Amino acid sequence: MADGVLITGFPGFIASRLVERLVTDEPETRLFLMCEPRFALTAKARCEALEQRLPAMKGMWHIVPGDIRRPDLGVAPGVEAQLREQVSRVWHLAAIYDLAVPESFAYNVNVDGTIHVLDLCERLPNLARLNYISTCYVAGDRTGRVYEDELDKGQAFKNHYESTKCWAEKHVRHRMGHVPTTIYRPSIVVGDSVTGETAKGDGPYFVMQLLFRLPTWAPMVDIGPSRARVNLVPVDFVIDAMALLDREEKAVGATVALADPNPFTAHEVLELFLKLLGKRPSAGTVPLRVADLITGKRLRPFVRIPRESFDYFNHEVEFDTTNASRLLAPLRPPCPSLDTYLGTLMTYARQHPEIFAAVTPGRKAA
């Protein structure tokens, strides 16, 4: 039986980490790595670099230039026939994560793209699993506890990223009768808890880079009440959880929140940052409306924090992880606590300032 794997969203950070894990666990698996044509050379170079560390990968990967916005996925003639013959698992990671993205573009990539991948899955005769990467933030503006099996509760959304990921997940759930699927909902994904490695200097890294630049004497304040819990998860936990559940039959049909079951509040996260940097505790709290001032044209070049990010530090929502805990408890330890690895993330970020230069303000770490 065919046992090839199709992965969309390569050579993105999470997709690249996933490839490395799959090659390590299943060296005989053939990989079909779909990327936008403009990233084909980068994708090829990434695979060649991985081959140096993972010799088993040689001859086992194929770069598939494509466009998920098109019904045929924009692949070259004959490629779909090869996928039908060899692919038994699909990982759909490709998405637009920009918090300020226009609705039409977000819909075209996140919703239409997911529909087209689902269509392909229904044409794969040997399909055993679709692993669909959603986000905890399909919860939109809901407050309180959000359960994994919930989706449409009449919520509004903070941005088009959230709304289109919610619509996309609706389509995935609708097709579960025909496409065996596991839905993963990561919260805000940060770097590796052991090495600190990341390719994305966004999300909490916006705050980190500001604190790096502030003089020792300069006070720092909380923007808004800062009671909300900021749910951060390290990328190694996310990859490990997904790789383990990919082969777990009990995960078929499940929605799994890959979130920290005991997250810190925004205030506590800031205090952890300040303590690790040897700075004084925060000097107090200023109203959330100040975010509009400090992200305005005059201060934006110094602050470098997009206005959209503040919403995630002041949104009082908690993500239930009952399904994740039940499925993962026999397989791996729980998600590590932020205070055990934040210093590692900060050390890596200091040593790799290029992650800040490469980021586009408005990108969400997910």
Confidence of residue 362 (pLDDT cuts 50, 70, 90): very low
The H-assigned helical ranges of 89-131 are: 103-106, 113-123
pLDDT band at 36 (very low <50, low <70, confident <90, very high): very high
Q: What are the phi and psi torsion angles at 248 (to 5°)?
A: -100, 115
What is the structure's pLDDT at 302?
59
Q: What is the pLDDT of residue 356?
A: 83
| Span 176-188, pLDDT tens digits | 999 999 999 999 9
Q: d(Cα 58, Cα 64) in Å, to the nearest integer?
A: 16
Domains of the chain in sequence order? 4-188+232-258 (3.40.50.720), 194-230+263-316+337-358 (3.90.25)
**What pLDDT, on the 0 to 100 scale, is given for residue 295?**
60
Instruction: Name the percent of the chain lying above pLDDT 70.
Output: 93
Q: From 231, 264, 250, 236, select the one nearest 329 (Cα to Cα).
A: 250
pLDDT, residue 218, reads: 77
- Please name the residue ranges forming H helices in 129-286: 160-174, 204-213, 235-246, 266-276
**325 has pLDDT over 70:** yes
- For the cut 50, the answer to whether the pLDDT of residue 366 exceeds it is no
pLDDT band per the 50, 70, 90 thresholds, residue 337: very high
Residue 361: is its pLDDT beyond 50?
no
- Does the structure show a pLDDT above 50 at 365? no
Task: Decide if pLDDT at 358 tops 80.
Answer: no
If we measure between CA atoms, which residue out of 162, 166, 158, 191 comes closest to residue 310? 158
Name the least confident of 123-137, 244-258, 302-316: 302-316
Neighbour order of strands in the sheet with 4-8: 61-65, 31-35, 4-8, 87-92, 129-133, 181-186, 255-258
The model's pLDDT over 269-317, given as tens digits with 9 standing for 90+, comes to: 999 999 999 998 988 887 767 766 666 555 555 566 777 777 888 899 9
- Residue 194 pLDDT more than 90? yes
Nearest to 205 by CA among 133, 290, 309: 309
Residue 25: Cβ within 10 Å count = 12
Residue positions counted in the chain: 366
Residue 238 has what pLDDT?
98
Using one digit for the tens of pLDDT, what is the confidence trace for 219-239? Answer: 887 777 778 999 999 999 999
Of the listed ranges 61-70, 164-173, 278-287, the one predicted with least confidence: 278-287
Work out the mean pLDDT of the chain and round it to a whole number. 91
